[in-house]
Structure 1
Amino acid sequence: MPFKKLLMAAVAVLATTAHAARPMNTDDARIVDAKSCQLESWVKHPRGHTEFWAQPACNFTGNLELTMGGSLTRQDGSTRGSAQMLQGKTLFKPLETNGWGWGLAMGMARDPRRDAGGGHDMYAYVPASFSLLNDKVVLHTNVGWLREQGTRSNHLTWGLGSETQLQERTWLIAETYGQGSGKPLVQVGLRYWLVPDRVQIDATYGNRIGEGSQRWFSVGLRLLSLPFLP
């Protein structure tokens, strides 16, 4: 079975059985619990098309989260495979309440659309997180590197985000992120735990600063398992 079909089959199975946690793009210094898995899925609607994403991740060893995912894009009445990604993430200092943590993530992503440049992009970044007010406010920072294979160019990547608890199960998220010298993107949204630490839903609005035509909306679902891996 071709890799693309195998990937989509795995995503479909996970969905029916069960770069940060949804809906943030700025990553955090956390990983999935040891011997556990999660599935992050969402629909993103930029202007002119709709993206359907799924990213399952598992922690087999205790300190290495492996994520493999992809998307389908619907545009002009047709649906096609768009992007795939594979990432590994580890922590050098786990985040603690009223403390801080940091780690390293490395991965590879591919977007075959002609306007995306083509090729497999390589990237790495350092996520750092800071807990305040007994975890009621958590700040995240990312600094990294991106190698675009389509254009054979290197870029600095960065992100700055926050999670603020509004109620017991409701969180406000806000972030800005970007790469190189281009205008940064911003995103705000809400995250709500239907089942604490197991089932989460979210919704966001985002845009590029100074470019109203690049706005998007997204809604997502995140599922986290109990430990079950051998």
Structure 2
Amino acid sequence: MPLDVLVFACGRRLCGLMILLLPTLAFAARPLSSDDASTADPGSCQLEGWGEKSGGNRAWVLAPACGVAGGWEIGFDATYLRPQDEFRGDAGVAVKWVPKSWSMLTPAGTVNFGLKLGVSYERPVDSGWRRSGQGLLGLATLVVNEDFALHANLGPHQERATGQVGTALNLALVWVPHPAGLVFAEVQTNDRRAMMGPTQRTVGGLWWVAPDKLGLSLTASRPVGSSETQWTLGFGWYGLSAWTNAP
């Protein structure tokens, strides 16, 4: 998702401004920022993109990801910022691992676990690209039934410039009231708000233009202590073939 874009996969300027750039039940990346414990099928790719608006600030994001082997996925993201008063943009790369052996059946439903490792980069206005941080997230997804799922992410993020380390926590509830779409609510928080930004609450939804293939999303989020709402409008395009001889 996402990285998609994870907490550790965005630059400091954008993280401090909008922690949303921190990734249906099968595709819990967009419009969620919390990530799910699942990967794209080997040889299958997805492309997600969205625009963000928060006051006078804008961001445009593209985030492709591909399944490279059973239980393995690699993803990228690129962010273009406006205005460019300090940074031109941000980028990140992440690898997700969700072993089948880490899945278990419980009285509440099926629980899947995984890990996601990411490295982030930033481009200041007065220099070239540089590494800005790295992090690791533990992923857990509880699939209660075909209509409800819970996602939880927990892990450390290190800021390269200062060496400071903070812990991110993302929690999300997804409801699929109709096959045509889903709605969700999530909270993203951390223990180093001066570095990683304030706690943020988000609600939103996705409508399938083509079932399980192409979806349009809309979200609204607000940092705790702020009266300003951040809006995102985006798309998700799934099931793309990574190579012609993919199974």
Is 1:126 matched with 2:156?
Answer: no
Q: Which amino acid aligns with 1:209?
A: V
CA distance in 2, matches of 1:217, 1:95: 36
Select 1:67's aligned residue among 75, 78, 98.
75
Greater CA drift, 136-145 or 164-173: 164-173
CA distance in 2, matches of 1:217, 1:71: 16
- CA drift at 1:49: 1.5
Select 1:192's aligned residue among 207, 210, 218.
207
Contact 1:98 1:135 in 2 (8 A): no
1:96-116 CA-to-partner distances (Å, cap 9, x unmatched) read 8931101000010123358xx
Contact 1:37 1:57 in 2 (8 A): yes
User: Which residue number corresponds to residue 58 of structure 1?
Assistant: 66
Identity of aligned residues (%): 21
Equivalences for residues 202-221 of structure 1 within 5 A: 202-213=217-228, 215-221=229-235
User: Which runs of no fewer than 5 residues in structure 2 stay unpaired?
Assistant: 1-21, 24-28
Q: Secondary structure at the match of 1:111?
A: strand
- CA drift at 1:86: 0.4
CA distance in 1, matches of 2:91, 2:104: 29
CA distance in 2, matches of 1:191, 1:204: 9
Is 1:139 matched with 2:150?
Answer: yes
Contact 1:29 1:94 in 2 (8 A): no
Contact 2:170 2:186 in 1 (8 A): yes
Is 1:85 matched with 2:92?
Answer: yes
TM-score by length of 1: 0.82
Q: Secondary structure at the match of 2:109?
A: coil
Number of corresponding residues? 205
- CA drift at 1:225: 2.4
Contact 2:142 2:150 in 1 (8 A): yes
Q: Which amino acid aligns with 1:72?
A: Y
Would the alpha carbon gap of residues 35 and 119 (structure 1) be closer, same or farther in structure 2, given more than 3 Å must change?
closer
Contact 1:164 1:172 in 2 (8 A): yes
- CA drift at 1:199: 0.4
TM-score by length of 2: 0.76
- CA drift at 1:81: 3.7
**Greater RCO (CA < 8 Å, at least 6 residues apart):** 2
Select 1:39's aligned residue among 47, 51, 57.
47
- CA drift at 1:228: 4.8
User: Which residue number corresponds to residue 183 of structure 2?
Assistant: 172
- CA drift at 1:74: 2.2
